[in-house]
Amino acid sequence: MKPMKSGFESIRNYLGSKKEKGRRKIALLVDGPNMLRKEFQTNLEEIRDVLKDYGSIKIGRVFLNQYASDKLVEAIETQGFEPIICTSDVDVRLAVEGMELVFSPVIDTIALVTRDADFKPLLSKANEHGKETILFGAEPGLSVALKNSADYVIILKEGIMEHEYNSRDLKESGTEDFSEVPLPGEGQVKL
């Protein structure tokens, strides 16, 4: 089993230790119907704050279905995100806009908030074109294929963020064993 580390500060340190020199230009895409549920306690402000330590959020869009309440739309706008109301399938609209961002020279990192395996091709294409990918997902129901397609994985469990080490962490640490991967602040320098 891959080791996990939890806590808001740990997540901020983790992503902060991964960024290359300079600020990353991030597009944040949120699968509203999949993630904005009471049982996941998804906090968009915390996600935004974590990503701000990693780079600048150039695009922040929350995709919602036509049944989203006016109160939810207003809350999303108040937090500085752009609500996208979809009259048809939310997944299709998010995937299309995500693919446009894969080819945008303005964006170098795509952060996706979802649990849905339908977005695996989007993450794969983003990686193929040199974009870094960050997945914010929630348990239960987070797709293993989706987790394995992202550069960095942050899991929301009962309102608490945890990051999961992946193959990129192993490569960067120069080891073949997850137990030997240093935690943020343990032998890693925050840039």
Determine the pLDDT at residue 7: 54
Reply yes or no on whether the pLDDT at 184 is more than 80.
no
**Full set of structural domains in the chain with CATH:** 4-173 (3.40.50.1010)
State the virtual CA torsion across 116, 66, 96, 60 in degrees, nearest 10. -80
Kindly indicate the confidence band of residue 10, based on its pLDDT and cuts at 50, 70 and 90: low
Determine the pLDDT at residue 140: 82
Reply yes or no on whether the pLDDT at 132 is more than 90.
yes
Contact indicator for 136, 147 with CB cutoff of 8 Å: no
H or E stretch at 109: strand 109-113
Sign of CA dihedral 134, 144, 96, 93: negative
**Order of all β-strands in the sheet with 24-31:** 4-6, 160-164, 152-157, 132-138, 109-113, 24-31, 55-65, 82-86
pLDDT tens digits for range 33-87 = 888 877 777 888 889 988 988 899 999 999 999 999 999 999 999 999 999 999 9
Reply yes or no on whether the pLDDT at 178 is more than 70.
no
pTM confidence score: 0.76
